[in-house]
A and B are shown apart, each in its own frame.
Chain A
Amino acid sequence: MALFPPITPSVADTCRAASPARCPHCGTAVEGETDAYCCSGCMAAADIIRGAGLERYYAEREAFPARPTPLDGAWTALTTEPQADGTVAARLIIDGLRCASCVWLTEQVLARMPGVAEATVSYASGRALLRWDPARTTLAALAGRIAALGYQPRPLGVEPHTDRTLLLRLGLAAIAAVAVMGLYEGLYAGWWYGAIDARMATLFRWVSLALATPVAFWCAAPFFAGATAGLRQRVLSMDLPIALGIIVLWVHGLASTLQNRDGYLDSLTMLVALLLVGRVLEARGRRRAADAATALVATVPRTARRSTPLGIERVPTELLRVGDTIDVGSGEEFAADGIVTEGTGQVRMSLITGEAEPVPVAPGDQVVAGSVLLDGALTVEVRATGGETVLQRMADELQRAADTGVRASGVDRIAPWFTVVTLVVAGITFAGWLAFRGLDAAVASTVAVLVVACPCALALAQPLAGAAGLGAAARRGLLFRSTQALLDLNDITVIALDKTGTVTAGEMTVVAADDAALRIAAGLERFSSHPIARAIVAEATRREIPLPRATGVHELAGVGVQGDLDGRRWSLTTGGAGSVCLQDGTAARSFIRLGDALRADAAGTVAALHATGRRVLLLTGDHGRIAEQVATGTGIREIISEADPRTKSSVILRLQQEGERVLFAGDGINDGLALSVADVGVAMGSGAASSVLIADAVISSAALAPLLAGFRAARAAGDAIRINLRFSLGYNVVAILAAAAGLVNPLVAAILMPLSSAVVIWGAARVETRVRREEMA
C-alpha cells in the first residue's frame, strides 16, 4: 500500500529529508525528523481514538482521513424524532468516510458516548441512525464528536419506506409459481407415461388453482390498477394486454380444472412472478437515485453571528429579522440579504450570478444571501430574510416552473396496436376453427393465441435494460431521475456546459506558485481556516511539500498574515486581483496566483464528447476573455459568454428550433431555467439544491467524466432495449401464428415463456459489460 510516495526533487533539496515525517492522524507531510501532529484538530482526534481504546483503527485503515474542521451550523435547532422508549432519534449523512475503518470508528466512538442507545452507520451509503437519551446528551454533542474525528455530518429528514408490498407480492408469486410448476410438471409427465391416477390428477389441478387464484388477484393487482388507470386516461400502456392475458389465463384455468383438463395455470404464476421481478428492479433503481439526490442536498441549518447590545450571539438564520446587524467573516456564507455598514471584502456570487470573479464590497453595497465572503470582515444590516431573499425567491420560481409531466415510454406506444392485433388474430382463429373443427378446438386455439400473445418478454424488455443502464450510470457517478431521461441522451446533438462549478471546480485553488514560496506560505497558513489558507495548504499537500511550522503567526482580517520562519519574518498579503504576495521585508517578493481552476478531467471529457460526434458549447455568464481561456484549456470550440439566465434559455430554445436536441449541465440557481428548458438537464451535485432537485440527472461527484459515462450507458441500454424489443416482437408473432395453427398447448407455452424472458434478461445483463468494454477502448 503506497501511503508514503516520494517527494519531488526540488523540494527534497530544501528540506533535506529522505522521507518526510507525517502527521500520525491525517498523513500530511510535516517538516522535522519525527512524526508530529499537523494541527490541534488531528491531535484532538487522536486523543479521542486512544481514549476510547480504538487504536486498532490506525492499524486497519486503508486511507487517511481529512483534517478535522470545527462543526458549524445550528444543530441545536434541529428537531428529533421521539421514540416509544423515551429516547430520541435522528438520521444523518456523514461525509468524509473514506474506508470501512472510518465507518467502524465512528460507530464505536459514538456508541461509547454517555446516553447513546444506538449508533449505526451504513457502510454502503454513509447514512447514520442515532438514538440517545435526551437527558444525558444532545444531537449537537454527537455531531460535534463526529466532526472532531474529521467527518462532516449533515441532517437528513424522515425517509420514505421501501415498497414492502411489492416485494411481498413478488415473493408469494414466486413461491406459488414454483409449487404450481412442480404440480403441472407431474401432469405433463402423465401425457407420455399415461399412468397418472385420475384422482391424483384432479387433486393436482385443484391445488394448482387454489395457489394460482391469489396470485392472479392479489399479486397481479398492480397490473390491473395500471390498466384501469390507463383506460380512464385514454393512455394504453403495456399493463392492458398483460391484465387481459392474466384474466384469460385464470378463467381458462378455472374452466379446465372444473372439466378435469390441464389449463395454463403454471404459465400464469410464472408470468406474474417474472413481471413483478421487473417491477421490483425498476423501483429499486429509481429509489436509489432519489435517495442519492436527497442526500446531496441535505444541509445543516445555517447560523449567523448577530450583534446585540450584549455582545455577539450565534443564532440560527431563521431567527434573523430585518434590521438586525450580523458579522460575516472570511469563508462564511451570507445568511440574509443586506447592506454593508462596516468593513470591506471580496464576495463570490457564483451560485447566483454564475460569475466566479470576486466582487469587492464596501460600506453601502448590497449583498445577497447565498454568496460567500472570500476575504475580509463585514458588518451587515439585514434587509431580507428567509423566503424573502433573492436566493429563495429564485428557488421558488424554479420549483413552480419545473415540468412534472409524464411521457409514455417507447414500449407503451406499441401497446394499443399490440392489443388490437392480438384480438383480431384471436377472432379469426376462433371463427376458423369453429367452422372446421367445432367449438372445443376453437376455444382451445383461441385461448392458446391469447396466452402466448401475453407480452411477458415485451414488458420486461424496457424495465430490465433500463434498470441496468441506470445502474451502470449510477456506479460511474451520474444519477438519473427516470429511465426515459437516460434514453433521451441518445438523441442529444448539442451539449451546453456552464462554466463556473461545472467545467471549473468552482472553488479557489492555487493556479501558479513556485515551490519555495508555496512552502513558506503554507507554513504561515497552516492552522488557518481562511479559504485562501486552505487553498494554499491543499496545493502544498498536493505537491507533497512537507509543511513547515511558522512561529509568531499573526492573522489580520482583510489584510493578510505574518509569521517567522527560517529566521526571517514573512508577510502574506493581497497582491491585486486573484493573487497573494509573499514578502520578507526586503525588496524580494513572490506572487501566488489563485483562481478557479479547470477540473482535471474537463479537457479529456470534452475531447471524448467531440469524438461521439456531438457539438460542445460553453454557455456562461462570465466575461468573454475568461470564457475564451476556459475554452482553449478544454478544447471547446463554441462559446457564448456574458449570458444571463434568460439568455441561456433562449440560446437553448433557438438551438431546439433549429432541430438540435440539447443537454445542459450547470450548477447554480441561475441555471435553473436552462435546466428545465433543455431536453436533458444535468445538475452538479455540489451546486445549488434547487437545481439538483429539478434536474433530469445529477452528477454526484466533483467531476465531469460521469457525463461521458452517461452517454455510454444510454447507448448500451438503448441498444439492448431495441434488440430486446425486436426479439420479443418477433417471438410473439411466431408464437401467435403457431397458436392460431393449433400447435400450442399448456406444455409448449410453459416452455416458451421462460425461454423468451431469459433472452431478454440476458440482453439486459450485457449492458454493464458493454459499458465496461467501451471504457477500456
Chain B
Amino acid sequence: MNGLLVILGVALFVGMLFAGMFWYAVRSGQFDDMDDPPRRMLKD
C-alpha cells in the first residue's frame, strides 16, 4: 500500500517535470518552426 503511494507520488512528480520541460520548450520558441530542423539535420 505504501509502495503504491510512493509510486503514485513519483509518477506525478515525473509528469510535472515533463510538463515543465514542455512549457519551457514552447516558451523559448523551439516549436515555432517544425519544418526546417528535420531537413537541416539531413544536410549535415
Contact = CB atoms under 8 A, between A and B. Distances in A.
A and B from one assembly?
yes
A122 B19 CA distance: 29
Contact of A100 (B5, B12, B23, B39): B39
B31 A162 contact: yes
B9 to A, nearest CB: 10
Given A104-B44, A203-B8, A164 B31 contact: yes
B14 to A, nearest CB: 10
B6 interface: no
B31 A123 contact: no
Nearest to B18: A175
Nearest to B31: A167
Contacts of B26: 164, 167-168, 171
Given A100-B39, A168-B23, A175-B19, A207 B12 contact: yes
B43 A100 contact: yes
Contacts of A172: 19, 22-23
A178 B12 CA distance: 11
A434 to B, nearest CB: 38
A172 B16 CA distance: 10
Contacts of A175: 15, 18-19, 22
Nearest to A166: B26
Contact of B43 (A104, A161, A200): A104
A175 B32 CA distance: 20
A164 B35 CA distance: 16
A273 to B, nearest CB: 13
Interface in B3-43: 4-5, 8, 11-12, 15, 18-19, 22-23, 26-27, 29, 31-33, 35-36, 39-40, 42-43
B43 A123 contact: yes
Given A100-B42, A104-B44, A203-B8, A125 B35 contact: yes
Given A164-B26, A164-B31, A167-B31, A123 B15 contact: no
Contact of A125 (B5, B11, B36): B36
A514 interface: no
Contact of B35 (A124, A168, A178, A203): A124
A171 B1 CA distance: 31
Chain B CB within 10 Å, residue with most, of A125, A164, A178, A207: A164
B36 A171 contact: no
A179 interface: yes
Main secondary structure of the interface of A (DSSP, over half): helix
User: How many of chain A's residues touch chain B, expressed as a range?
Assistant: 20 to 34
Interface string A506-527: 0000000000000000000000
A775 interface: no
Nearest to A168: B26
A103 interface: yes
A197 interface: yes
Contact of A124 (B8, B27, B39): B39
B36 A124 contact: yes
Nearest to A183: B8
Interface string A118-151: 0000111100000000000000000000000000
Interface in A156-197: 161-162, 164, 167-168, 171-172, 175, 178-179, 197
A171 B5 CA distance: 26
A103 B40 CA distance: 10
A359 B30 CA distance: 54
A502 B1 CA distance: 74
Contacts of A103: 43
A179 B15 contact: yes
A197 to B, nearest CB: 6
B37 to A, nearest CB: 9
Nearest to A104: B43
A203 B1 CA distance: 12
B1 A179 contact: no
A128 to B, nearest CB: 11
Given A200-B4, A203-B8, A123 B36 contact: yes
Contacts of B4: 200
Given A162-B31, A179-B15, A122 B36 contact: yes
A122 B12 contact: no
Contacts of B42: 100
A470 B23 CA distance: 29
A179 B35 CA distance: 30
B8 A207 contact: yes
A123 B1 CA distance: 55
Nearest to B25: A171
A123 B33 CA distance: 11
B24 to A, nearest CB: 11
A161 B1 contact: no
A123 B19 contact: no
B12 A179 contact: yes
A623 to B, nearest CB: 46
B20 to A, nearest CB: 10
Contacts of A104: 43-44
Interface in A197-224: 197, 199-200, 203, 207
A203 B5 contact: yes
A122 B35 contact: yes
A162 B39 contact: no
B7 to A, nearest CB: 11
Nearest to B42: A100
Nearest to B27: A164
Interface of A: 100, 103-104, 122-125, 161-162, 164, 167-168, 171-172, 175, 178-179, 197, 199-200, 203, 207
7 contacts: A124-B35, A125-B35, A125-B36, A162-B32, A171-B19, A178-B15, A203-B5
Given A162-B31, A167-B26, A171-B19, 16 more contacts: A100-B43, A104-B43, A122-B36, A123-B39, A125-B36, A164-B29, A164-B32, A167-B31, A168-B22, A171-B23, A171-B26, A175-B19, A175-B22, A178-B15, A179-B12, A179-B15
**Cβ-closest 6 pairs across A and B:** A124-B35, A123-B39, A122-B36, A171-B22, A124-B36, A162-B32
